[in-house]
A and B are shown apart, each in its own frame.
Chain A
Amino acid sequence: MVAPLIVVSDLEKTYTTKGRALVKALGGISLSIEPGEFITIVGQSGCGKTTLLKILAGLLARSAGSVTLRGEPVNGPRRDIGVVFQDPVLLPWRTVLDNVMLPIQVLGLDRRHYRTIAVELLRLVGLVGFEDKYPQELSGGMRQRVAIARALVHEPSLLLMDEPFGALDAMTREFMNLELLRIWQQAKKTVVFITHSIPEAVFLADRVVVMSARPGRIVEIVHVDLPRPRDLDMMASDAFGVYTRKIRHLFDAKGWLD
């Protein structure tokens, strides 16, 4: 048995609103993630999935419970975590390569060594020849690829992704999902991926974490036993349909989807 990479236990998050009311965003989340796993978290808007991700990233303090990465508590941003946000958040005054190198510069790592890794990552995300372009010369999908390369450049063991393809059109999004699986398989990282699309969650994941809202709780964790590598034809298969239906029923039963 491998030691889990992340252990979340009884995690709670409570906000105080402007009207001094207490709002429970997360109510007792427990989850453990194995190294190399692809976890997706699915839930409607406002179920606290982004809050959970921000706590995992060390960007937000928790109210109760614990989060550990390789046995050490996560109390702030850590260098072995890479984050991909909803928007690519690239710096327009830096070239693609310099954007990817940002974490290296901030963390004060050896630039010569990591430059080769950055170039290699740009090849991995399919952006060979774009090193010296500026973000505004790239399409939305390409910008998000740059953001993925940037999140991987300092070789984190955990990649956190917060609805990274939400702003892309449906076809680009399917393509990016395929690309992400290819990158994940080559880079051998652990991924926690947030989405509100049930098919996307099933297509990508080893396990789908289904969350309910107010307070955010884990309703069920669905193991997805579809073969890898996956392709888009699988989305039309019966087995795929069984998973998506099962998750949709979980939402329906609670009356969350109207």
Chain B
Amino acid sequence: MIDYLRERPHVPLIPLVFVVFVLGWEWIVRAWQIQAFILPAPSMIWAALAGGLKSQLFIAHFWVTLSETLAGFGIAAVTGIVLGAVVSQFRIVEKTFYPYLVALQTLPKIAVAPLIIVWFGFGITSKIVIAAMVAFFPVLVNVIVGLKTVDQAKLDLMRSLNATRWQTFRMVQFPNALPFVFAGLDIAIVFSVLGAIVGEFVGAQQGLGNLILQYNFALDIAGVFAVLILLAGLGVSLHLVMQALQKRLIFWAEPEEVIGA
């Protein structure tokens, strides 16, 4: 036990920092008598979170945001991988669409959100579209890079066996790209949450983003914080699921450097 702590002195410090931070926050709010609609004390936030969870209110909104996120992510993952594969396999496609890709990638996708609401309405569809749009580019870019970084010796090996293009793609290029694909998917899952929340901000009837706006207007800041905690939990869990999947599926490689969008 003592040896363990000697090698990892940071392990007990992590919860300690949290406790000190929360207690300090509580103390400052009470000592300076800060108004709850400016900054609520952690105890109030905790009460709001517990209450929200108990009344099923949070759960209902949570499911809406989660399904928007997952649907958007799924669409982004499938289209990103398929289009990335097509772009990397056909030179002419890559050369033709590259300038458009760069232009679209530099555009802040979130700025298009109001338009998407106009086209797809206030329901869940528009949020899925926005989440997919935001998450699509990190997948696409990483798939293209991954498929291109295959070493020439492996391609020579396949050529010496008279392999078809499809065989080379399936047996060498695609598995070779998987570490990059997962790096892209890992960013995409976090971006999907972002897209869903932004969509709910712009115009929605339900979801955690919508709930944040409602609480904000009602000056229920403790409620806002409670929803933020829920969102942080959602983001972290999704990221951990991705990492666990990556470890299982790409056991042979170290995680690739992430290429952001």
Contacts and interface: CB of A to CB of B under 8 A. Distances in A.
Contacts of B158: 106
Size class of the A contact interface (CB-based, 8 Å): 20 to 34
A85 B153 contact: yes
Chain A interface SS verdict (over half): loop
A91 B162 contact: no
Interface in A127-154: 134, 136
B161 A91 contact: no
B248 to A, nearest CB: 12
Interface stretch (A41-49, A76-84, A178-186): A76-84
B162 A106 contact: yes
B145 to A, nearest CB: 18
B252 A134 contact: yes
Nearest to B154: A89
Interface stretch (B57-65, B95-103, B167-175): B167-175
Q: Which of A79, A91, A105, A136 has the most CB of B within 10 A?
A: A91
Contacts of A79: 161-162
A83 B252 CA distance: 25
A103 B253 contact: no
A91 B172 contact: yes
Contacts of B159: 59, 77
Contacts of B172: 91
Given A59-B156, A85-B157, A92 B163 contact: no
A2 interface: no
Given A102-B171, A134-B252, A136-B252, A89 B153 contact: yes
Given A87-B153, A107-B161, 4 more contacts: A89-B153, A91-B175, A106-B167, A136-B252
10 closest cross-chain pairs (CB), A and B? A92-B252, A106-B161, A77-B162, A89-B153, A83-B160, A106-B163, A93-B175, A89-B157, A93-B252, A77-B160
